[in-house]
Structure 1
Amino acid sequence: MTFQEYTQYFETLLHKSAAEQNAPYNNPDYLEYTKLNWARMHRWLKTAHIEEALSDKLKEIAEKQYWIVITEPWCGDAAHSVPFIEMAAAQNPLIRISYELRDSEPFRIEQYLTHGSKSIPKLIIRNEAGEDLAVWGPRPAGCQQVYDELKAANADFGQMKTAIQQWYNKDKGQEIQRELAALDSFRKA
């Protein structure tokens, strides 16, 4: 699906009660995460910009690329990363981007597990022949470090959620942009 189709799907979830939803959105907690993520994603889309270093790297791409983003509206990490991925892809007309839901066909996430889990978002960058050039996700390394430390300390979900949200707010999309710029898929012709 396109980004517009993804956001339309996302928005339809917001206009139904939990009782009207399919799993996992029939769980009021997931529906609340989705509402928060809608606001977070749109805040980034309104206030964020692509830094010059990443923009320059994206302009170096001289062959068609196909970017696949595996995500779900309930995913907090996706709310912070997907806007930057979408804005990055828009920097070069040779990049075509599509969105897939983790929990729906084609279940591509099964091929891109993170330590055995279906962690999202996941960005897969392919060349025109369909070969993987790079894979990124599910979160920037600095945020992953916070997550890993809290998990090792047996922090509860609320503590983890708060700490990760604070990390994203402080970082303002800088690390994801540095990581995207460092991917091997950006090479000159």
Structure 2
Amino acid sequence: MNSLIENSLPNSFSYTEYRNHVSQLLLEGLSTGDTQSEDLFNYSTLNEVRMNRLDKTINVPQEIKDRLADLKKQYIFLVISEGWCGDAAQIVPVMNKIVGETENLELKLVLRDENLALMDEFLTNGARSIPKLILVDKGTHTLRGSWGPRPHGALKLILDYKEKFGVIDQEAKTELQKWYLQDKGLSTMEEIVTLLENAENM
């Protein structure tokens, strides 16, 4: 596992580099990933707008800031993502805001389709679901936990919808985006900070 993590880090993006990479591909009519389609391009374009909005509007509550200030160790958020992923568009900007609150955290992003060996170590019910946060000890590059692809409330919404209708359709995706809008990143912050606190006690 350590070697997979260490091999992924040199090929990772900072948040700004990731955003710039996705934006440049969009200018060329492309999305990230091995598969190209009109749908993926359109999702990526929509996600660009969402992320721009979230960069401006997401606020970290004082209670979360206080808990981050208590961190003693240093960690890397190694995050597996893609530009077309709707969940990633809602969550990665929140992760960036968390990292911005303390010098003990660093955010590194890698693209799923270029890092399948790493992705396959962090499957969700057998699927390559993203975004996936891999919590890494900065000094040793040791795995300290993982999180994703979405907060518990969002996961419950999708599971309940699938149980009721048997499929995840466009309406389900719309309801999911509404959930993220109302939640304002708070569930993601709470769950990730709890992950960090658990890592502190390892």
Scaled by the length of structure 1, the TM-score of the pair is: 0.90
Does residue 132 in structure 1 map to residue 143 in structure 2?
yes
1: CA distance, partners of 2:119 / 2:129: 8
Does residue 89 in structure 1 map to residue 102 in structure 2?
no
Look up the SS of the partner of 2:115 in the other structure: coil
Does residue 60 in structure 1 map to residue 70 in structure 2?
yes
Describe how 1:1-189 pairs up with structure 2 within 5 A: 1-17=13-29, 23-24=34-35, 26-105=36-115, 107-127=117-137, 128-152=139-163, 153-183=165-195, 184-185=197-198, 187=200
Look up the SS of the partner of 1:74 in the other structure: coil
CA 1:151–1:94: 2 relative to 1, 3 Å: same
Partner AA of 1:131 in structure 2? T
Q: Which runs of 5+ in 1 are unaligned?
A: none
2: CA distance, partners of 1:53 / 1:109: 32
In the TM superposition, residue 37 of structure 1 has moved relative to its aligned partner by: 0.5
2: CA distance, partners of 1:22 / 1:141: 26
1: CA distance, partners of 2:173 / 2:104: 36
Contact 1:121–1:137 (Cα < 8 Å) also in 2: yes
1: CA distance, partners of 2:124 / 2:80: 13
2: CA distance, partners of 1:156 / 1:123: 23
2: CA distance, partners of 1:140 / 1:156: 17
Residue by residue, what CA displacement relative to the aligned partner does 1:77-126 show, whole Å, maximum 9, x if unpaired?
00000001011012111212210001113641111111111111011111
1: CA distance, partners of 2:33 / 2:180: 29
Moved over 3 A (4+): 20-23, 184-188
Residue by residue, what CA displacement relative to the aligned partner does 1:124-176 show, whole Å, maximum 9, x if unpaired?
11112222222110001000001111122214521111111111111111111
Contact 2:154–2:179 (Cα < 8 Å) also in 1: yes
Aligned length: 186
CA 1:21–1:137: 2 relative to 1, 3 Å: closer
In the TM superposition, residue 16 of structure 1 has moved relative to its aligned partner by: 2.1
2: CA distance, partners of 1:3 / 1:36: 18
Q: Which runs of 5+ in 2 are unaligned?
A: 1-12
Residue by residue, what CA displacement relative to the aligned partner does 1:16-63 show, whole Å, maximum 9, x if unpaired?
235x98742x30000000001011111110011111122111111112
2: CA distance, partners of 1:4 / 1:68: 15
Contact 2:145–2:199 (Cα < 8 Å) also in 1: no
Greater helix share, 1 or 2?
Answer: 2
Aligned Cα root-mean-square deviation (Å): 1.9
